[in-house]
Amino acid sequence: MAFTLGGRARRLVSATSIHQNGCLHKLQQIGSDRFQLGEAKAIRLLPRRTNMVQELGIREEFMDPNRETETSYDFLDEMRHRFLKFKRQKYLPEIEKFQALAIAQSPKVMVIGCADSRVCPSYVLGFQPGEAFTIRNVANLVTPVQNGPTETNSALEFAVTTLQVENIIVMGHSNCGGIAALMSHQNHQGQHSSLVERWVMNGKAAKLRTQLASSHLSFDEQCRNCEKVTNSKHLFILRSLIPEADLCVCVCVFFFLCWGRNL
């Protein structure tokens, strides 16, 4: 993983309390069972399948007993077990920490990452709850303000002006499908483009720069170069979006093929 640093850190200012009760204080009632996150004992998160059928008023003859239904239920059961494992092993041993987080957050870091399921910033960088304010989108793009408001830019504004984070990390990665979609997009497609194609075209400047510099390379090699160019351009875009902020800005690229190698 390579890092490019810019800017400098400043003193962290305590964040404004977001909500007195916090989210996750109580989960929505599901069927006849409910789960109170602050309770010391584990209560079933999901109702039994028979209860679900009765409470939703579904007649047995309309239940499709195929493998897909069983698989779906297995998935929900797996999620239930994972949640209860989290509660037993992490939440309850650190209950005071989670109760404090329910009142307010004060992260020092904002992470702008890709939505790719293989690159979870908290998992890769070891962030704990409350440490990093994270926004993820396809190809981890940061768009210029002239392109209009986006979820990423609004999250950036909130992180800088309200949470007053000290550091911003833009985390790209190799083999990015979003960058491949950008590089393969035909400019004449216009209104017939998919939502993904229209989104990744926010990185058009990086695409053109890559094509000019590496037109002699294969498509895969051009995509690898575009991943680097896109992330380097984020430094300049971030400075234009938050010109007065005194922040440490870090751009990094996660390379899958480097796994297992010495750092």
Q: Give, in order, the Cα–Cα distances in Å from 117 to each of 3, 122, 123, 157, 260.
A: 21, 12, 11, 25, 20
On the question of pLDDT at 48 being above 60, the answer is no
- Section 211-216 average pLDDT: 90
Per-residue confidence (pLDDT) for residue 66, from 0 to 100 = 52
CB 261 within 8 A of CB 8: no
Measured distance CA(242)–CA(78) in Å, rounded: 43
185 is in an annotated binding site: no
**CA–CA distance, 127 with 110 (Å, rounded to integer):** 11
Kindly report which listed range (120-124, 152-156, 249-253) carries the lowest average pLDDT score.
249-253
The percentage of the chain sitting over the pLDDT mark of 70, rounded to a whole number, equals 68
Choice between 257 and 35, residue whose per-residue pLDDT is larger:
257
Question: Taking Cα atoms as reference points, which of 129, 141, 46, 45 lies closest to residue 95?
Answer: 129
User: Any idea what DSSP says for residue 6?
Assistant: E
SS3 state of residue 113:
strand
Considering the chain, what is the average pLDDT of its residues?
A: 75
Q: What is the domain partition of the chain in residue ranges? A: 2-18+105-258, 21-103
Binding residue per annotation — 173?
Answer: yes
Residue with tokens 């989108």: 137
60 CB-contact burial (10 Å; exposed 0-12 / middle 13-18 / buried 19+): exposed
List, for residues 51-75, the tens digit of each pLDDT value: 444 443 444 444 455 545 566 678 8
Higher pLDDT: 244 or 1? It is: 244
Handedness of CA 54, 56, 58, 64 (dihedral sign): negative
* Class in CATH terms, 2-18+105-258: alpha beta
pLDDT surpasses 50 at 6: no
Cβ neighbours around 110 below 10 Å, total: 23
- Which one is predicted more confidently, 133 or 71? 133
Query: Alpha-carbon distance 87 to 106, whole Å?
Result: 22
Strand partners, 109: 132, 167
Q: What is the pLDDT of residues 14-38, one digit of tens each?
A: 333 333 333 323 323 333 333 343 4
Q: Is 114 known to sit in a ligand binding site? A: yes
**Average pLDDT for residues 170-181, to the nearest whole number?**
93
Mean of the pLDDT values across residues 196-222? Answer: 91
Strands (E), the chain: 2-7, 109-114, 132-137, 167-173, 248-254
CA-angle at 244, arms to 242 and 249, nearest 5°: 55
At 183 the pLDDT is 94
Banded model confidence at residue 242, pLDDT cuts 50, 70, 90: confident
What does residue 146 show for φ and ψ, rounded to 5 degrees? -70, -15
**116 annotated as a binding-site residue:** yes
Answer whether residue 106 shows pLDDT above 70: yes
DSSP assigned state of 27: P
